[in-house]
Amino acid sequence: MNLAENIAAAKKVHLILCIDEFQQIAEFKETKAFQKKLRAAFQTQRHVTYCLYGSKRTMMMHVFTAVSMPLYKFGDIIFLQKISENDWKKFLVDRFAQTGKKITEQQAVMISSMVENHPYYVQQLAQLSWLRSGKSCSNKIIVEAFESLTLQLSMLFQNLTDSLSPKQVNFLAALGDESQKFSSRDMLEKYKLGTSANVLKIKHALQQREIIDIDGGKIEFLDPVYKNWLNNYYFK
C-alpha cells in the first residue's frame, strides 16, 4: 500500500495513481477491514494523489458517501459527463481516415447518437461499421451494424430480463414508453405495477442492479443497447 509513496519519495517526484473500476472493492471479502487499511495508509502519504474511478455510480457512491464506510468523504467526488457528439464526431472521422476509409460527420454523429454517446458502444458500433465499409461508410451500413450489435447481445439481455420479476419487467416497459409518471393511477393499472410504494421498491432494485439510473428525478436506462433490444425485440 505504500509502494507508490516510497517510489515517489525516493525519486523526488509526485505520482498520480489511477485505479479503474474501484467499486469492485465492495465485493472483497472483509471489505470494510481492507478499506480501513487503505485509508490509514493513503491519508498519511504526501507524494501520491489517488484517482479512484468506476463505471457503476451507485456502488461508487456507497463506498464514498455511506457514513458506515471507511472511505466516507475520503476525497473530492467528480461526476463525469458523457463525451459530447462533437468530440465523437472528430474522433470517428479521424480514425476512419487514418485507415484509408471515409465516414461523414453526419454519419459519425449518427453512430454516437444511436447508442446515446455511451463510450464502449460508440467504439464497438464504429468498429462494426468500419468492418462493413469498403472505401466509405453509409447510413445503411451503420443501421445494419447496430442491428448486428443488438443481436450479438440478445442472449445476455434475455438472461438478464429472465432474472427480473414480472413487475420489474413491466416497469422497464413503462420506461421504454418514455413515461416518467409511474405512480399515476393510469400507469399503475396499464403496466400492472401494483402500488406507488411498490414502484419505489422496483426503482430501487433496478438501480441497485445497475439497469437504470436516477438523476434529479429523471430515470433512464444505463445500457442504451439493452433499451433498444427491449423496445424493438422483447416487448414486440
| Shared-domain flag, residues 165 and 122 | no
| Shared-domain flag, residues 148 and 89 | yes
Q: What is the extent of the structural domain holding 25?
A: 3-65
Residues 6+ positions from 146 with CB-CB distance below 8 Å: 114, 115, 125, 128, 228
| Shared-domain flag, residues 147 and 176 | no
| Shared-domain flag, residues 159 and 144 | no
| Shared-domain flag, residues 132 and 183 | no
pLDDT digits (tens, 9 = 90+) for 132-163: 999 999 999 999 999 999 999 999 999 999 99
Specify if 75 maps to a domain: no
| Average pLDDT of span 200-225 | 89
- Strand (E) positions, the chain? 15-19, 48-52, 212-215, 218-221
Specify if 95 maps to a domain: yes
| Shared-domain flag, residues 11 and 23 | yes
The cell numbers describing 84, all together, are 459530447
Q: pTM to 2 decimals?
A: 0.80
Q: Is the pLDDT of residue 183 over 90?
A: no
| Average pLDDT of span 200-217 | 87
Look up the CATH number of the domain holding residue 195.
Answer: 1.10.10.10
pLDDT digits (tens, 9 = 90+) for 19-66: 999 999 988 999 999 999 999 999 999 999 999 998 888 888 889 999
| Shared-domain flag, residues 60 and 32 | yes
Q: Count the domains in the chain.
A: 3
